[in-house]
Structure 1
């Protein structure tokens, strides 16, 4: 799978771990940054990543920040992006099944690395159910 990955400083350690772990599983991962734990502005990563997902360059995107709120709000400014926050695997599954989420946002300050891998695995392995959910998803864009 072709994945876009990015974080702010709060999600940097988790992002680094995910990048290596996902590549070891055979995924094609592009790292949008940040490239250090130095303080930075999350939109500087979330906007380019989201634009690339919106353009269809990547199958899915993964964003991390402290609470996941900032990157999620930013990602959802892109009309072709349906970003969802998940701190449990069950929420990642529902985001894919019911909302056809294409960007997963993880709150790095509230989940450990093991749980982060479980959340990402669930997100990547879950398909959109379509049906009645397709009708709802079609109404999202303004």
Structure 2
């Protein structure tokens, strides 16, 4: 799987750990920065990574900032992206099973490395429950909202 990864300075260290894990599992990582812990603006990195997912250059995205919400706010402004902030493996599982998210957002100031790695593993290996009508219907309704209000790339 091709996975776009991006972070700000607060998420840099954890992003590097996640990248190493993804590569060790055979995933292709598309790196969008940042490249250090020097203060920076989150949108400079999350926005281009989001575009890569939206354009199909990456299958999914994993974005890491201080608390995760900034990344999710940016990603969810882009047509075709469904981002969720996950702070535990249970939420990561539901974000995939019930909501078919294609972007995972993690808060490096909120959770530690060990739990973050477990969240990534669960999120990557959990499938959307597309054959269960209520989940498909709910995701379809969210996608209809996007169709009405977001611009296709």
> Same fold by TM-score, threshold 0.5 exceeded?
yes
Equivalent residue of 1:70, what SS?
A: helix
Counterpart residue number, 1:89: 89
Scaled by the length of structure 2, the TM-score of the pair is: 0.90
1:56 aligned onto 2:52: no
Unaligned runs of 5+ in 2: 149-153
Q: Distance in 2 between matches of 1:86 and 1:118?
A: 11
Quick one: which of 127, 134, 137 aligns to 1:135? 137
Q: Distance in 2 between matches of 1:57 and 1:40?
A: 25
Name which one, 1 or 2, has greater alpha-carbon Rg: 2
Equivalent residue of 1:117, what SS?
A: helix
Report deviation, 1:139: 1.6
Report deviation, 1:123: 0.3
Counterpart residue number, 1:16: 16
**Count of residue pairs brought into register by the alignment:** 142
Aligned-CA RMSD value: 0.8
Unaligned runs of 5+ in 1: none
Scaled by the length of structure 1, the TM-score of the pair is: 0.97
Q: Distance in 2 between matches of 1:34 and 1:47?
A: 12
The residue correspondences of 1:74-113 to structure 2 (distance < 5 A) are: 74-113=74-113
Q: Distance in 1 between matches of 2:136 and 2:123?
A: 18
